[in-house]
Amino acid sequence: MKKIFIFLPFLLSSCYDSYYKQAQALEKSGKMLEAANYYEKFSSISKDENLRPMALQKAAVLYSELLLCAKASPLWEKLARDYSHLPISVRASKDIYICPPYFPGEKVRKMVYGDSQTYGKNAREEMSVLKYGYGGGVWERRIYAGKKMISKGKTAFYEKDFYIFEKKEGEDRKILKYPLKKREEFSEGKRIVLLAETGLEVKTGAGSFSGCIKVYEYQKDQPSFRQVFYYAPFIGKIVTAIEYQSKETRITELISYEQG
């Protein structure tokens, strides 16, 4: 009987380890939902205090990427609460509410926007990441008219107090507010930002994007003339349009992007 009790912890540990290894194998084969489930299961039963937070993080990230924020947010909360001594807890405390992120993720390296009439033949904007940071990071921006580059600069995206900011040409603008609530608006000076719609499927020259949001920006004294922005999870802005007297016209859209 004593031998059984001696080997029981070893057997349990091996069982726990198998969940983590199975999760890794599933993730490698592209079965992300199954991988997330196994990482979550491992984190709930394992006693390994080194691997548990890693498994929690992996499960939360995969659920977020699958737009399953109802499953991801409790895991981020657990990370922030139970592992407050780890650096990851700072990011986790934000991701409880910032899910999914409507700004460029760490995997996005380049985004190209083009005019919607010619898909970039007449005009395009190329964005290449210089340094990733939470909220989107710093990007080099090049503007082309046809094949000729006419301007160059930098654009930064960052998060502060649950607002997502865009910094361009020395101006910092709030573009989104978390947690996202449909029909909720905020103001910055005379500018109004309104989250109009959520859960949209949007097609651009770069493909189809699920789980998108539609955001209006307009001046208080000109409510009938609105800028319209569509954002995709882990990408950010994918369409810029104008709306006048309820008629929407696309101006630019994402025509390609690269991940690495």
Q: pLDDT tens string for the chain (260 positions)? A: 444 444 445 444 555 678 899 999 999 999 999 999 999 999 999 888 889 999 999 999 999 999 999 999 999 999 999 999 999 999 999 999 999 999 999 999 999 999 999 999 999 999 999 999 999 999 999 999 999 999 999 999 999 999 999 999 889 999 999 999 999 999 999 999 999 999 999 999 999 999 999 999 999 988 889 999 999 999 999 999 999 988 999 999 999 999 98
Sign of CA dihedral 102, 103, 108, 112: positive
Which tokens is 72 given? 């991801």
pLDDT of res. 1: 47
The CA dihedral of 89, 175, 179, 38, to the nearest 10 degrees, is -50
pLDDT one-digit tens code per residue, 124-175: 999 999 999 999 999 999 999 999 999 999 999 999 999 999 999 889 999 9
pLDDT of res. 94: 96
CATH number of the structural domain 108-259:
2.40.360.20
pLDDT of res. 113: 98
Which tokens is 170 given? 């020395």
Helices (H), 29-114: 32-45, 51-65, 69-82, 88-95
Query: In 3-state terms, what secondary structure has residue 103?
Result: coil
